[in-house]
Amino acid sequence: MKWKIQPSSSLHGVVSMPGDKSISHRALMHAALAQGTSRLQNFLHAGVTEAMMRCVRALGVPLAIESDGALIVQGGQLRSPAARLDCGNSGATIRMLMGALAGQRDLAVTLDGSVGLRRRPMKRVAEPLRLMGAEIGDTPPLSIQGKQLRGIEYTLPVASAQVKAAILLAALQADTPTTIHEPGPSRDHSERMLRSLGVSVATENNTVTLTPSGMPLSTFETTIPGDISSAAFIFAAAALVPNSEVTVQNVGVNETRTGLLDALGAMGGDVCVANVHEVNGEPSADITVKSSELRGITVDGDLVVRMIDEFPIFAVLASQAQGETVVREAEELRVKESDRIGSLASELRKLGVPIEERPDGFVIAGPTRLHGAVVDSHGDHRLAMSLAVAGLIAEGETTVTRAEAYRESFPNFVDLMGRLGGTVHESHE
Ligand code: S3P
């Protein structure tokens, strides 16, 4: 499927985002391990979470969807599935399942996924799990034979919330406490959710210690905040399309996720955060962005970790900023849904952006007048939507090929853009 995008003269309106992808994954995984019924309101229904739903069902956990989209999870005893579990394109699904299943004694399973997923790093999860006593492979298709686990003290070589989440899921089932040290502040949704369920999770700086109780997790009801990583495309579009003002309601503002807002503010963006409130330990707010002149900035260190999924759309913002924007210490971008340094550079150049690729980031000199072109998503949902936003400010028509990738995380992107005044057409020609 292709997208055809026309330039937009202004964007206006108030919208809400689908549920946060990271929190949806954790809520489903924790609910599957709890003994009884949990209810997850504003659960994300998209490609990556459907992958986790499929796997959890195959492990013997009944799921139901209510008319408002809430997911009902009947957690309990997991059983060995009849066939390999297909984790699709979802890194969170395979990594969290590795952690959750490694400690399920008597359970045997093989985890696999798409060609793209098979290429992504899994050893970073398998290694600490093996130190805990797990019997687990390194690359998909990877098999797991559930074992009794022991706690460990472990230093993550890279800040990765997916690795941390997997170790915490295993730590819940271990017989002694586990301590994880991280080099940066990766998203802490697992810690917050487990604490709200009564699990002993202590956090200090970038160190987290979980002390297992030996009891199953409690069932729970929660409302998942809107996904700030999806809202990022709307914020950027509002900042870039002239005469725009857009509000996104009830979007998660956990500070381990708000790096793009800080970066946009530092660039001179007009960002207003209002009505901050907390649900189950996760803060959300209403955020309004208006169009403004932007200037280039340097992004490195902790800010990279706090906006790790936002670099494709950040690069589009940088293309319109006055002066140089430098991203460094971001080599992790090379192992995301695409090599997000290489794929960004090749596609943005087609639109006229002077972008210099570096091993650990990129440099963009702006502002540049974009011209419409045929660009490709590389099968990466965030690249597809970033290129669509670039199309809204490019001269002439922009075509994005393999656009269907957007359904992995933000299935109503086209609809919401249309409601705000942005023209993104689906084409099957
Ligand atoms: C996620 C963590 C990040 C992020 C991904 C979701 C999570 O990955 O890129 O989209 O839910 O924990 P890493 O942990 O690999 O950095």
pLDDT tens, residue by residue, 13-46: 999 999 999 999 999 999 999 999 999 999 999 9
| Atom 11 of ligand 1, nearest CA residue | 22
Sign of the C-alpha dihedral, residues 338, 114, 93, 413?
Answer: positive
**pLDDT confidence bin for 279, thresholds 50/70/90:** confident
Rounded mean pLDDT, 288-307:
98
Q: Is the CB of 24 under 6 A from ligand 1?
A: no
DSSP conformation class of 67: T
d(CA 336, CA 378): 11
Rounded mean pLDDT, 80-108:
97
| Atom 13 of ligand 1, nearest CA residue | 160
Paired tokens of 300: 């490195």
CA atoms within a 13 Å half-sphere pointing along the CA-CB vector of 140: 26
Ligand 1 pocket test target in 187, 334, 381 with most atoms within 8 Å of CB? 187
Q: Residues 226, 238: contact at Cβ < 8 Å?
A: no
Sign of the C-alpha dihedral, residues 111, 114, 117, 118?
Answer: positive
Q: Is the CB of 8 under 6 A from ligand 1?
A: no
Rounded mean pLDDT, 393-400:
98
CA of 308, closest atom in ligand 1: 9
d(CA 424, CA 7): 9
Q: Reply yes or no on whether the pLDDT at 316 is more than 90.
A: yes
**pLDDT confidence bin for 378, thresholds 50/70/90:** very high
Rounded mean pLDDT, 310-325:
98
Q: Is 309 a catalytic site residue?
A: yes
Q: Is the CB of 187 under 6 A from ligand 1?
A: yes
Q: How far is the CA of 352 from the centre of ligand 1 (A)?
A: 30
Mean pLDDT of the residues in the chain: 97
pLDDT at position 339 is: 98
Q: Reply yes or no on whether the pLDDT at 361 is more than 90.
A: yes
Q: Is the CB of 308 under 6 A from ligand 1?
A: yes
Query: 369: how many CB neighbours lie within 10 A of its CB?
Result: 11
Residues in Cβ contact with 310 at an 8 Å cutoff, skipping those fewer than 6 apart: 229, 232, 259, 260, 263
Q: Is the CB of 49 under 6 A from ligand 1?
A: no
Q: How far is the CA of 166 from the centre of ligand 1 (A)?
A: 11
CA of 305, closest atom in ligand 1: 16
Q: Residues 251, 284: contact at Cβ < 8 Å?
A: yes
Question: H helices of 268-412, where?
Answer: 302-306, 311-319, 342-350, 381-392
Ligand 1 pocket test target in 29, 162, 337 with most atoms within 8 Å of CB? 162
Q: Is the CB of 190 under 6 A from ligand 1?
A: no
Tokens 């393999």 appear where? 402
d(CA 336, CA 128): 21
The pTM score is 0.98
Complete domains list, the chain, with CATH: 2-18+225-427 (3.65.10.10), 21-213 (3.65.10.10)
Q: How far is the CA of 95 from the centre of ligand 1 (A)?
A: 10
pLDDT digits (tens, 9 = 90+) for 197-214: 999 999 999 999 999 999
pLDDT at position 150 is: 98
Q: Reply yes or no on whether the pLDDT at 429 is more than 90.
A: no
CA of 190, closest atom in ligand 1: 12
